[in-house]
Amino acid sequence: MIASFFVWPFLLSYALGQGNCTKKDGSTRPDCPQAIAFFRGFQAALSSNDRSQVAALVSYPVRITLRHKPARIKNAAQFLAHYDEIFGTRIRCAILNATDEDVWGNWQGFTVDGGPVWFDGIIPPGEHPDIHSPDYWSRYSLKIVAINNDAYFKCKSAPESPR
């Protein structure tokens, strides 16, 4: 009985846990290196205001919020038409000031501190992947699947550059 008291929290944290991509533990996803690289590319595109590049990193339809209501953007043209609403000041700050240490993943995908954007490997419709395949974790391109643009994000300041 005492043993199960200690085992259940561990199993629950493993099943539902989130694995930080830089401080690896038993719940860290194997595709963390790809997630960090994807996030860096997304940050660069957002930072340089390369709207078409940001739109290309999205899996459509994508879940967002427009005028405080849940919405789905169906395609890149619709995404670009709402770009300024989607990437307001707070969410831009949260994304642009996130670091590799803020990237983490769980069964829902990857995000950064606070969850402003979610991204994951996209399995093509009709494909039934083998999760035991050696290339399972690297086979599918990462894309943005949700943007929590209506949530409040406390913007941390940019990391100081080394001297």
Please write the tens of the pLDDT for every residue from 84-99: 999 998 899 999 999 9
pTM equals 0.81
Please identify which residue in the block is written with the tokens 């996030």: 39
84 contact partners, CB below 8 Å, separation of at least 6: none
Phi, psi for 11 (deg, rounded to 5):
-65, -40
Q: Do 137 and 118 form a contact (C-beta atoms < 8 A)?
A: no
96-153 confidence digits (pLDDT tens): 999 999 999 988 899 998 899 999 999 999 999 888 888 888 889 999 999 998 877 7
- Looking at every residue in the chain, the average pLDDT score rounds to 84
Angle in degrees, CA 34, 36, 42, rounded to 5: 100
Q: Across the chain, how many H-helices and E-strands are there?
A: 7, 7
Per-residue pLDDT tens for 38-47?
999 999 999 9
**Residue 57 Cα to chain centre, angstroms:** 11
